[in-house]
Structure 1
Amino acid sequence: MAITDPLFGIQEPALQVQRRRLELIAANIANADTPGFEARDVDFRSVLAQAQTQLDKANAHNGKLIASTNSNLVADTQPIWRLATQPSEDGNTVDTQVEQAQFADAALRYQASLNFIDGRVKSLLSAITGQ
């Protein structure tokens, strides 16, 4: 059973998007002192809404579209430029405090999705083994 099974619902694409967010935020923090670097992020809500729409369509077709639609979700996601909260003379838009807070938020959401999937897997194993 693939993780893209309807049993896991929106959690699989949520993991993908949060992983992408964590990568972008880590790059922002790493480039905090790079002149002209512009902070980037992913609009999590819009991407997840798109994933939910695709998931609903796939469920209407007995789950046949899920693997193909979710596999391209993160690859097709375009990062957005984060607006500068503090002006910088060198054109860098990274605010390390904002980035660290965003990273912590994304990490918590990623862990929550993992916990949900782990709970589903444990429930399945319990049902299969009868324990």
Structure 2
Amino acid sequence: MNLFSGTISTIEGSLNYSSLKQKVISQNIANVDTPGYKAKDVSFKDTLNQAMAGAQKAYRTDARHYEFKSNAAANGIVSQRNVSYNESGNSVDIDKEMSDLATNQIYYNALVDRMSGKLSSLQNVLKGGR
């Protein structure tokens, strides 16, 4: 869907990223007492860096545009943290995970609110402003 100059698809990709982040944080919290479990993290920055490293030539309308044409997943890359916090080798810090969970929830709610606003605008246009 390419409505609103790609805004809806951008929000959709951001919602996918937030959903993946939520799943990873939930897995970390669920495994807080599992010996040897390495906490995971989702990083969009790693995805962007990876896409830029393998940059392909793309049609650009402006010299300031990125030089890659990739439909890289907006989900991000799931990676393990190699830091041990306790003697069992578990690297889950429950306080950090709960903080990340709250931050991600606020981010997700803001995205849903923005998507709702865009769809309401579209609905208003389709109804002719009535």
Scaled by the length of structure 1, what TM-score is found? 0.71
In the other structure, the counterpart of 1:69 is: 71
In the other structure, the counterpart of 2:6 is: 6
Q: Which string of whole-angstrom CA distances, capped at 9 and with x for unpartnered residues, describes residues 34-62 of structure 1?
A: 00001101113444786xxxxxx79x7xx
CA distance in 2, matches of 1:48, 1:101: 24
* 2:29/2:92 contact within 8 Å kept: yes
CA distance in 2, matches of 1:103, 1:7: 25
Q: Which has the higher contact order (CA 8 A, sep 6+)?
A: 1
Where 1:10 maps in the other structure, the secondary structure is: helix
Q: CA deviation at 1:105?
A: 0.6
In the other structure, the counterpart of 2:115 is: 117
CA distance in 2, matches of 1:20, 1:34: 21
Say which structure is richer in helix: 1
CA distance in 2, matches of 1:23, 1:94: 15
- Note closer, same or farther for the CA distance 1:2–1:9 as it changes in structure 2 (3 Å cut): closer
Where 2:86 maps in the other structure, the secondary structure is: coil
- Note closer, same or farther for the CA distance 1:47–1:10 as it changes in structure 2 (3 Å cut): farther
Q: Which amino acid aligns with 1:124?
A: L
Larger Rg: 2
RMSD: 3.0
* 2:35/2:89 contact within 8 Å kept: yes
Q: Which runs of 5+ in 2 are unaligned?
A: 52-57, 62-69
CA distance in 1, matches of 2:87, 2:32: 13
Q: Which amino acid aligns with 1:107?
A: Q
Scaled by the length of structure 2, what TM-score is found? 0.72
Where 2:21 maps in the other structure, the secondary structure is: helix
- Note closer, same or farther for the CA distance 1:107–1:93 as it changes in structure 2 (3 Å cut): same
In the other structure, the counterpart of 2:22 is: 22
Aligned-pair identity in percent equals 29
In the other structure, the counterpart of 1:97 is: 95
Q: CA deviation at 1:83?
A: 5.2
Q: Which amino acid aligns with 2:89?
A: G
